[in-house]
Amino acid sequence: MKNYLLSLIAVIVLALIAYVGAEAATWPQYVFGIIIPYLAMTIFIMGTIRKILGWARSPVPFRIPSTCGQQKSLPWIKQSKIDNPFTFFGVIVRMVLEVFLFRSLFRNTKCKMSKGGKIFFDLEKWLWVGAIVFHWSFLVVLLRHLRFFTNPVPGCIQFLEQVDGFIQIGLPGIFLSGFALVAGAVFLLVRRIVIPQVRYISLASDYFPLFLIIGIALTGILMRYFTKVDIVGAKEILMGLVTFHPSISANINGIFYVHLFLVSILLVYIPFSKLMHMGGIFFSPTRNLANNSRAVRHINPWNYPVKVHTYDEYEDDYREKMIEAGLPVEKE
Amino acid sequence: MSNNKKIYDKGIVFTGLVIFLALITFPFWYNRGIAAPAPEPELTEKAKAAKECVLPADEMKTGHMQLLNDWRNDVVRNADRMYVNEHGKEFNMSLSNECLDCHSSKEDFCDRCHNYASVKPYCWDCHIDNPKEKM
Amino acid sequence: MSDELLKPDELIANIEPAPPRKGWMDTPINIRKGMYCYASNHKSVASLDLPNARPWNPLEDDWKLPENWKDIIFNGFRERLDKFRSFKVFMDICVRCGACADKCHFFIGSGDPKNMPVLRAELLRSIYRNDFTTAGKVFGKMVGAREMTMDVLKEWWYYLFQCTECRRCSVFCPYGIDTAEITIMGRELLNLLGLNIDWIATPIANCNRTGNHLGIQPHAFKDMLDFFVEDIEEITGITVEPQYNKKGADILFITPSGDVFADPGTYTCMGYMLYFHFLKEKYGLDVTWSTYASEGGNFGLFTSHEMMKRLNSKMYAEAKRLGVKWILGGECGHMWRVINQYMDTMNGPTDFMEEPVSPITGTKFENAKSTKMVHIAEFTADLIKHGKLDLDKSRNDHLKVTFHDSCNPARAMGMLDEPRYVINNVCNHFYEMPSNTIREQTFCCGSGAGLNAGENLELRMMGGLPRANAVKHVHEKYGVNTLSCVCAIDRAALPPLMEYWVPEVEVNGLHEMVANALIIPGENERTTDLRGEPLAGMEGDDVE
């Protein structure tokens, strides 16, 4: 079966389980509304810590930054301080730009070849645009959701809501981030399916989180704009979770539990998958190290002595010939 | 998986982990475990006596904002001020004169849930705070 | 050039337009002639005490592996995950966005999807997931896990020796995943089973024994330089006197042996000799060559970290024995990756030397104060800036030059503007290639990381296609006839590449042009460059 169909079906089945369960009886609401979210949060936190400590248990033996600009050398040669940092501060700037603006991805080009065999490199910013839209809107959606997890709701979250909801067509007001998230995720999904090379490298585990996130976003949109959910009741459940006074509200429809269940699946999925790239970027030795290993000695904790063909052994091999050629030797 | 026991770059790794944990657990420590059950909007005697609102309570809970929006359009654009619900009961489409007639305290009725859910309706941009008093 | 090699247009027509319908895990490995290098000579492997030395042939079914080869791979994999955070993180975090795909010269030139950096890495990741991750053990193929088999091993060998560790993909990767790092680990694993290629195995065996990859013995090394002394005398009338293994010299000079051995690198080597003669006569600079550390390059980098360290150790050992103040390094690509990113960590600290200072200008090379090794382009740029070199740019007027940034000085060091400054001061006609093909985005020669053999010429020509294409562009636009570079492998690899794709362009080295332009007291009037080619305006003169 096609990878993406497999993932799509998996997400649909998961959604159906939660929907049917929550609509059928009350007890599954405790499972989907309380037990699974707690379990998911625990697995997410423990799993992420375990993964990160796993990375931290391996040392960085060598200083291997990818240098993407002029090194620091002679004082009159202009160093590229961000793309080839020499100091810790430079590294921080490089990392911040990498994490928040995807600087490396911004370089993206597309290679094309003409009939005559001439190669061109076009700027290809769509992947960058898609990635930026997807990640930033996801972050905004996430932060916006803090209104369901805090009481009273902090002013900055309220402000974010206002900015995100500046377009008012009918009621409830539209949150742009939610639609941007769907658009971004769909773009990433479509390019994965449509571009032959990307489809070729894509695994079921690449499609799954995309479908999952699209599912999460769509159920959210469904609840807000269409099927409607009792928002006060929903918040009551979520506040119950984060204040350790878990409870279930009546009259919350199944879509809410689908939403919550898919989020729980996503949380569990993160530490065991490529989604750990959000932590991994901080650990990438080609980005988080200064290119100063000629000026400051980098220490390898497991540096061990190796077998070396010494000069003495070398001279023993060639002494006669060296003397004959007039080369100086240690022992005549 | 790892055979290594030692953690390298401890300082920066643990700093990062603490920041991660602080951010991810923000709702847990921000609320300090203080229970926040859903607020009960206070019904006035008049509201209690009426027993039923324009629509059934559940529908009002999730859909009142859209109802009000529709009312406003009808009144402003079509000069239509009459609304008939499914029981044939008639209502004057007016936030100030109809809704707030029963639910006379914005503070005890509207604001409770709106504040809880962090909703800032722009109704109050025009409609004065306590119409009964000022009218 | 081999008769069997495809014509350039045939090679372009052969580029696969799209990946096959069948998934990559189900596409069997096909080891194709022209694309692989011969297996390592077992004598070379044995001479270095590396494991599982034996004769074997990649085209045969039976690779004569030790019985427990899967355990060796498994344990070797685990050991490297525990030793290298880079490896562990890069195994985990790739999202397969595909941004790296068309950044690889081998993919551009072949269209073979397994040459996409992401898929090259997936060859290892699939085994990693199966053997070391929970998800892989539970969900298997769905999450891209597969078991280690003989076919997988062959695939590793085939495709890890179709990567030149050039790091271009890592520039574009949003997480900085460096395929070079993955190839290095994969090759280490293969070497545990004695699966190297001979173009690497024999040079490292040579280097270990004789001090250089080409196996030049000390007396022969001196002979070869003496031969250049005669050539230099013929062209300039100057008799240069290189010093060898001289104790107490100020500076030890180490450069790749390739430049001592083969054209056109030899002209760069002559350039160094003339240049040092000038600096000695004019400023008393005391430079010595070494026959023991007579190799700048380090094919150990293409074998294993341990082998890299073994070969690299000679530089500091020799500097210590001779008691020099610091080391000057010649033009070479991967040599400078080793020096910049590994040497001090592996074989330092170097308290027996002084922090490098140019004795002529007094400039402190702050960026090299710990390794105590300075790149000759940095050294020369400093001299030119201080007006210490007497240069006649017009002596390079017959050259229309473009500059090829070698992968490692560009992406593992960032030496971009120093050579350009030197070029602009020694010649009048310099033209850059398009911006997506130079500096940190430079394209590999297609033959780095030990792949510069004769039997894999098709691979090299397709890998070098993007580079050649950019050269062709400036050749057609500006009449460029010279491709300059700071790498000995380039000087060996680019001439056949140019002959294949852009026959009118020759390859030279930076210090060949420096020496051409250098006005040396007491020299004859120069009528030719170091190659014996007439200078501009001298074409009609009787050179004799």
pLDDT in tens, A270-318: 999 999 999 999 999 999 999 999 999 999 999 999 999 999 999 999 9
What helix, strand, coil percent values describe chain A, rounded to 5?
60, 5, 35
Q: Best interface-test mutation with C: which of A53, A74, A103, A302 has the largest number of C CBs within 10 A? A: A74
Dist. CA C162–CA C313, nearest whole Å: 28
Domain that holds residue B126: 45-134
> Are residues C208 and C317 in contact, defined by beta-carbon separation less than 8 angstroms?
no
Residue C133 with chain A: CB contacts under 8 Å:
272
pLDDT > 90? residue A165: no
Which uninterrupted H or E stretch holds C509?
strand C506-509
E-assigned strand segments in chain A: 109-113, 119-123
Could you tell me the pTM of the whole model? Answer: 0.94
What ranges do the domains of chain A cover? 3-301, 307-332
Structure confidence at residue C540 (pLDDT): 65
Residue B74: alpha-carbon gap to chain centroid = 23
Confidence of residue C496 (pLDDT cuts 50, 70, 90): very high
> Are residues A70 and C409 in contact, defined by beta-carbon separation less than 8 angstroms?
no
Question: Do the domain assignments include residue B39?
Answer: no
Residues facing C507 on adjacent strands: C483
Higher pLDDT: A36 or A226? It is A36
Structure confidence at residue A138 (pLDDT): 97
Q: Across residues A18-45, what is the average pLDDT?
A: 93
- b/e per residue A192-204 (b: at least 16 CB within 10 A): beebebbbbbbbb
CA B116 to chain A, closest CA, distance in angstroms equals: 7
Q: How many residue pairs bridge chain A and chain C with CB atoms within 8 Å of each other?
A: 318
Dist. CA A317–CA A309, nearest whole Å: 11
Strand bridging mode A119-123 / A109-113 = antiparallel
Interchain CB contact of B12 with C (< 8 Å)? no
pLDDT > 80? residue C494: yes
Tell me: the pLDDT tens digits for A96-149?
A: 999 999 999 999 999 999 888 899 888 889 999 999 999 999 999 999 999 999
Residues 23-52 of B with CB under 8 A from C: none
Task: Give chain B's domain count.
Answer: 1
Structure confidence at residue A114 (pLDDT): 87
Residues 22-61 of A with CB under 8 A from C: 51, 54-61
C401 backbone dihedrals φ, ψ, rounded to 5°: -105, 140
Dist. CA C203–CA C216, nearest whole Å: 11
Q: Across residues C286-310, what is the average pLDDT?
A: 97
Residue A53 with chain B: CB contacts under 8 Å:
7, 13
Comparing A160-169, A302-311, C324-333, which segment has the lowest mean pLDDT? Answer: A160-169
- The ipTM of this complex is 0.95
CA A57 to chain B, closest CA, distance in angstroms equals: 4
CA B14 to chain C, closest CA, distance in angstroms equals: 16
Interchain CB contact of C252 with A (< 8 Å)? no
Tell me: the pLDDT tens digits for B70-106?
A: 888 888 898 888 888 888 888 888 887 888 888 888 8
Dist. CA A254–CA C444, nearest whole Å: 57
Structure confidence at residue B135 (pLDDT): 40
- What is the CATH code of the structural domain delimited by A3-301? 1.20.950.20
Comparing A115-129, C158-172, C264-278, which segment has the lowest mean pLDDT? Answer: A115-129
Q: Across residues A69-96, what is the average pLDDT?
A: 97
Confidence of residue B133 (pLDDT cuts 50, 70, 90): very low
Higher pLDDT: A56 or B43? It is A56
Residues 55-114 of A with CB under 8 A from C: 55-64, 66-74, 76-78, 80, 83-84, 86, 98, 102, 104-105, 107-111, 113
- b/e per residue C351-376 (b: at least 16 CB within 10 A): eebeebebebeebebbbbbbbbbbbb
Structure confidence at residue A73 (pLDDT): 96
Mean pLDDT of chain B: 83
Q: Which partners does chain A have (≥3 C-beta pairs < 8 Å)?
A: B, C
Minimal Cα distance from B32: which residue of A?
Answer: A243
Peptide bond into C521 cis (omega under 30): no
Structure confidence at residue C8 (pLDDT): 92
Tell me: the pLDDT tens digits for C345-396?
A: 999 999 999 999 999 999 999 999 999 999 999 999 999 999 999 999 999 9
Structure confidence at residue C497 (pLDDT): 97
Structure confidence at residue B128 (pLDDT): 63
Which among A147, A245, A282 is the nearest to B117, CB-wise? A147
Structure confidence at residue C1 (pLDDT): 46
Return the structure tokens found at B89: 């009961």
pLDDT > 50? residue C482: yes
pLDDT > 60? residue B2: no
Question: Do the domain assignments include residue B54?
Answer: yes
> Are residues C501 and C468 in contact, defined by beta-carbon separation less than 8 angstroms?
yes
pLDDT > 70? residue C544: no
